[in-house]
Amino acid sequence: MRSTYAGVDWASEKHDVLIADETGEKILAATFVHDEAGLRSLCRTLVRHEVRLVAIERPDGLLVERLLDAGLRILPLHPNQVAAARDRFRVSGGKSDRFDAFVLCELARTDHHRFRVLEPDSDQTKALRALTRAREDLVATRTALCNQLRAELARFWPGPLGLFTDLYSRISLAFLERYPSPADAHGLGEARLHGFLTRQHYTGRQTPAKLLVKLRRAPETRIGALELATRRALVLSLIATLKTINEQIKSLERQIATAVHEHPDGQVFLSLFKKPTSVVCAAELLAEIGDCRSRYPTRDTLAADAGQAAVAKESGKRKAACFRWACNKRLRQAIVTLADSSRHHNPLGPGPLRPSPRPQARPPPRDPHPRTRLVPHPMAPLARPHPV
């Protein structure tokens, strides 16, 4: 039996499949509906033709799980890689699902050695990855709602903006829930504000008098009673939504902490942090790196996938090292968080994270994305291949 390769163009309603042998001769071109019967027929067809490798434009999802469950080897390709390879097989700029399946099949047949075959993680790692990414989505939603609430307050009640550290914090939402409009805060005095801060266990360093000065220094609104009542109701609805999201984020963080401590590799990643409560970043590292050690055989491969290795560019006499944009963005952010937290208490030696011993009249601006060239030393054991 000759070796066969397949390209699957994933879509929400149907999947176009092309199967070819090692010489490029087409064996089968078909379309399967995205339902239970269609997925079963697709898996049976690929197994019956003894497909060696299946190329697809995504690394996870229901279709990928079904293909893995059927015993097939998956070659996940980034959509940008497929888009760049289309011009190798066409003259015009045409595009179709069947053509994309052909491109995927040809990449699996001729260039499979240039890509990495999908190595599935354990069920615990997949569950942890689902928790961390769900929390990340909720945090992004909370940020969007905070921006909407800030814009709404700026239109008619700018006083509470900047009164407390975060607009989504418990004390800030409690204050806005009690005083959602300037009319509600008309009789607010120092004694009443002191009582509110005491009930909310305020730990800031501002006195009630200073907070009142900030609140009353804001410009006053000049809108009608009906518009004021409408905007007051909008603020209360946004506050209720933010309180619900905060509760869900805290619930997810508790589940993440439990999942990290129960994971076989959890203690390895937790040991990278000084505080025992730093579980979210450790969980993100574990979820994105995974528990398959052969995925990153060396420390350099891990650094490259995390965006911590520079990209060398040379043209004529010009040589430059540029920032690596093509990487795992979630893994890069987790490693940047680890590097930023570890520099406060770990002597990393000479490097970009070590402060300069020379005094400076004006400190340099802080880079929001520290670009370290090396992965921190405690992560070196993760790059050594050993059984899971």
Contact 128, 279 (CB under 8 A): no
Residue 93 has pLDDT above 50, yes or no: yes
- Confidence tier at 381 by pLDDT (50, 70, 90): very low
Does the pLDDT value for residue 368 go beyond 70?
Answer: no
Residues 6 or more apart whose Cβ sits within 8 Å of residue 293 = 382, 384, 385, 386, 387, 388
- Span 188-235, pLDDT tens digits: 999 999 999 999 999 888 999 999 999 999 898 889 999 999 999 999
**340 or 139, greater pLDDT:** 139
Task: Tell me how crowded residue 86 is: count the other CB atoms within 10 A of its CB.
Answer: 15
Q: Is the pLDDT score of 158 beyond 60?
A: yes
Query: Looking at residue 356, what is its pLDDT?
Result: 54
Q: Above pLDDT 90, what percent of the chain?
A: 69
pLDDT of residue 385: 45
What pLDDT was estimated at residue 94? Answer: 83
Tell whether the model's pLDDT for residue 283 goes beyond 70.
Answer: yes
Let me know how long the chain is.
Answer: 388
- Share the mean pLDDT of the chain: 88
Contact (CB, 8 A) for 182 and 159: yes
The whole-number average pLDDT for the span 235-257 is 97
pLDDT band at residue 162 using 50, 70 and 90 as cut-offs = confident
Q: Which residue has the higher pLDDT, 96 or 12?
A: 96
Instruction: Determine the pLDDT at residue 373.
Output: 45
Band of residue 1 on the pLDDT scale cut at 50, 70, 90: low
Over residues 314-323, the mean pLDDT reads: 91
Q: What is the C-alpha R_g of the chain?
A: 27
In the beta sheet, which residues pair with residue 15?
32
Across the range 226-247, mean pLDDT stands at 96
Sequence-ordered alpha helix ranges (H) in the chain: 36-48, 62-69, 79-85, 97-110, 123-156, 170-178, 190-199, 208-217, 225-262, 266-270, 280-289, 299-305, 329-342
Residue 102 has pLDDT above 90, yes or no: yes
pLDDT for res 383: 45
41, 113 contact by CB (below 8 A): no
Does residue 370 carry a pLDDT above 80?
no
268 class by beta-carbon count within 10 Å (0-12 exposed, 13-18 middle, 19+ buried): middle
Mean pLDDT (whole number) for 132-145: 97
Average pLDDT over residues 153-179: 93
Q: Which stretches of 61-201 are DSSP H helices?
A: 62-69, 79-85, 97-110, 123-156, 170-178, 190-199
pLDDT at 362: 58
| Per-residue pLDDT, 353 | 47
For helices 170-178 and 225-262, angle between their N-to-C axes, nearest 10 degrees: 160
- Whole-number pLDDT of residue 374: 43
User: What pLDDT shows up at residue 364?
Assistant: 57
Is residue 124 within 8 A of residue 259, CB to CB? The reply is yes
**pLDDT number for residue 380:** 47
Q: Are 25 and 120 in contact (CB under 8 A)?
A: no
Q: Supply the pLDDT for residue 277.
A: 83
Residue 240 tokens read as 């209720």
Q: Tell me if 313 sits within 8 A of 320, measured CB to CB.
A: yes
Mind listing the pLDDT tens digit for each residue in 67-80?
Answer: 999 999 999 999 99
